[in-house]
Amino acid sequence: MLQKTENLPLQWSNSAPVKRDRAECDSLRTLLERLGQLGFDVPPLGGAMNNVAGGVPMRLSVRNVLRANSGSEIAISAILGLLQQQVPVMLSLTDLGNESAAIGNLQEFCELLRAATDGSGQRSSEIGLCVRSHQLPLQAFQLITNSVLGQGSRYILLDSLQMTQHRNPQVQAETDRNWLILWRSRESSRPLNPAYGASVRTACPLLADEVTASVLPASGIQVPVDSAWVPLNLALPRFVDDVGDIRWELLLPALVQGVDLAEQVVDRLSWPQAGQRADACTNRRLAVSISGLGDLVANRGLDPQDLESLRWLSVIVGRIHKTLWRRSHKLARRDGCLPALCGADPSSGWDDSAHRENWRRRWQVALEKSAVRNRNMLVMSPYSVLPSMTDSSAGYTDLLPVISYADAWGFADAPDFQGWNLNDYKTFHRRAWAVIQGRKTGELIAAGV
């Protein structure tokens, strides 16, 4: 196969958006309307021109901001500018300090931010915040942020410390206390939302998974800092017949056309931060969230704790996953591969020309087989396996393995967990975390594509 590489299509070196006649005449608004006609829900856009999607996931060092240097002034100015444009902001707070110092630093930081927003006429309640679960007492975090900044979105990033049992009684006591606070906060007007998608994945074997450190404001997806996403949601119950079977003749074309439209949307959006602009160009991330999985099972009258129900649901999600990625592969062949791939040839800096050319031929073969147009595509929420119309839903926890198909995970819009207890709640999140930590499901390109 290597000897045929000189005949590979030239578009693999093309990373620029391809202009097509129809795409050129379609405005952003028209594209979004067409997505809506296909069944997709698109979050409200921000920005002065209503062309900013998803919001900005930022990371801030609290103690650095409190030092009142030029860097902190730039950070505060950037936040105010985003608020002025009505762009949602999520601040992932780091470097709070230790123990009681962390509480004091958080209080001072929130008061500084509140003074800045009040002075500029902006609303501090539009600022979302997230912290790691063991940075400071969660109750203090909730009390201070809500009382000073108002009731913006609050996310708690959980890790293995929160998801396992500990021999150290002090660590275990803190873990138990955190779960109790998360459980109780669900009933508040602005709950603390747990999030634990520690990485975002890709089905392309030529790209690496990425560490997440913030949350996309519009949809609660745990994402890399300063990453740019086009968030869309597709409710699967819209695509079922009277007996609960998926109408594939409607769903599959909707998915394919949705990817094509979202690809055009990427190039028409404005990204307010330099890091996001670079990320949008390099990675062209789509966030196609599918919802209503628990409703599919409930409406069909299936037992969620029966293994056959999980298998039935897995076939559906697996087919969706393959459809999305196959389309991205075909778009790469037509329009050019993902820029992150076009610049990823590991041999580009090699001095040995013979080895460099040999590797380059191999790289071109790999691109021909696996190149894609988007780094990420499918997003799932653990909550999507819970039905919307019943309180006795703890048994639907057994459907969580299906979320292993996702490239990223969202944690917004948590249900109220009526009929559950603390142990049910904790078990649900720990099992979801275990699924997310597991290996990737499925292959990118199936035979015959």
CA distance 270 to 265: 10
Alpha-carbon span 190 to 145, nearest angstrom: 11
Q: For tokens 């599918």, name the residue.
A: 290
Enumerate the domain spans of the chain: 2-44+226-437, 56-195
| Cα→Cα distances 149→58, 100, 187, 312, 441, Å | 17, 20, 20, 45, 41
Strands 210-211 and 56-61, how do they pair? unpaired
Beta bridge partners of 37: none
Please enumerate in sequence order all residues whose Cβ is within 8 A of that of 44, keeping only pairs 6 or more positions apart, or say none.
218
Tokens 């007996």, located at residue: 243
| CA-based end-to-end distance of the chain | 18
Is 202:376 a contact under the CB 8 Å cutoff?
A: yes
Task: Return d(Cα 248, Cα 245) in angstroms, integer.
Answer: 9
285-291 and 378-380: which strand pairing? parallel
Coil vs helix vs strand at 406: coil
Q: Determine the Cα–Cα distance for residues 24 and 447; give it in Å rounded to an integer.
A: 34
Residues in the chain predicted with pLDDT less than 70, given as ranges, are: 1-25, 343-359, 439-449
> Is 0.75 surpassed by the pTM of this model?
yes
Tell me what pLDDT residue 25 has.
Answer: 58
244 Rama class: left (phi>0) / alpha (psi -120 to 50) / beta:
left
pLDDT on residue 43: 82
Residues 339-385 pLDDT 10s: 998 765 565 555 556 556 666 777 778 788 889 999 999 999 999 99
* Confidence (pLDDT) at 346: 60
Q: What is the pLDDT of residue 6?
A: 35
- Residue-wise pLDDT for 16-37, tens only, equals 444 454 445 589 999 999 999 9
Q: 206: Cβ–Cβ under 8 A, 6 or more apart, which residues?
A: 341, 344, 366, 367, 370, 371
- Contact at 8 Å (CB) between 430 and 159? no
pLDDT at 350: 53
Instruction: Please tell me whether residue 318 adopts helix, strand or coil conformation.
Output: helix
